[in-house]
Amino acid sequence: MFPQPDFYITNSLFIAGEEIKFRYNGTYGNGGSFYARYQWEFNDGSPPSNTREPTHIFSDPGDFSINLTVKDVDNDSISVIKTITIIPDLNPNAIINYTINGTTVDFLFTGTEGNGNLSFAWSIETFRTNYTSRNLSVSFRNSPYPRNYTATLTVTDIDGDSDSVSVTIQIPGTPRDTTPDYITSILITISAIILVIIAIIKVRGKKQVKRDKAINKVSDKWDKDYLDSE
């Protein structure tokens, strides 16, 4: 009975510089797996591998023929060849565009994807929430004065390559309305009138006290002069 070699690769993408894992799922011929011998040729200039399930790193992108030969205990051998395509390792590039509308800011990711399947991590100054969407719309707290905030985006692609970028945005201030309304104006006017009346009463009271003192002084003098004439 001859071996029937076969294999598959566990990686979802074949990326240059990344470790690729090969898994054997064929038969072993006479003697079973204990006596089976393996030879993997990757055709990228590297030496063959004699392990059952090797890992391998292709340094350069391109198409490569993977040749697996299996021998059984009787030296019966069969080979299988599969071609895989190794793609370049692309790094993502984090770029942010944004528009400000009042206190609302719309953030837009306009960078590159790297090797795809990006994950996003947004961090906005003073916000406790970390956002994971591709694009983002954030409403900031209203303030009477302009205020700067820092927004940071980190993107990570499928093979773990990441990039970050930060931008500083200025949220325009919204001055508070200092014009009193109708009721407030009336209350202010009434308060002013009351203060004026109180001031007038105080002034008149002081004058009345002075007048009473003067009258009492004249009266006392008359009484003294009358008693002296007696």
Spatial CB neighbours of 43, under 8 Å, sequence gap ≥ 6: 64, 65, 66, 67
Angle at CA 146, nearest 5°, toward 143 and 151?
Answer: 95
Mean pLDDT along residues 22-48: 96
User: Maximum CA pair distance of the chain?
Assistant: 166
pTM (two decimals): 0.66
DSSP annotation string for 74-102: T--EEEEEEEEEEBP-PPEE--EEEEEET
Residue keyed to tokens 């990570």: 156
27 closest CA partner among 6, 9, 10, 41: 6
Question: What 8-state DSSP symbol labels residue 193?
Answer: H
Rounded CA-CA distance 45/43 in Å is 6
SS (H, E, C) 63-74: EEEEEEEEECCC
Query: Domain limits of the chain?
Result: 7-86, 92-171, 179-230
Q: Can you give the C-alpha Rg of the chain in angstroms?
A: 46
Q: What are phi and psi of 220, to 5 degrees?
A: -65, -35
Q: What is the pLDDT of residues 187-222, one digit of tens each?
A: 777 888 888 788 777 777 666 666 666 666 655 555
Q: Do 92-171 and 7-86 have the same topology in CATH?
A: yes
DSSP annotation string for 29-46: -TTHHHH-EEEEE-SSSP
More confident residue, 149 or 207: 149
User: What is the distance of C-alpha 121 from the center of its chain?
Assistant: 5
Q: What is the pLDDT of residues 106-147, one digit of tens each?
A: 999 999 999 999 999 999 988 888 899 999 999 988 778 899
Supply the CATH classification number for the domain 7-86.
Answer: 2.60.40.10
What's the CATH number of domain 92-171, 1.10.1520.10, 3.40.50.2000, 2.60.40.10, 2.40.10.500? Answer: 2.60.40.10
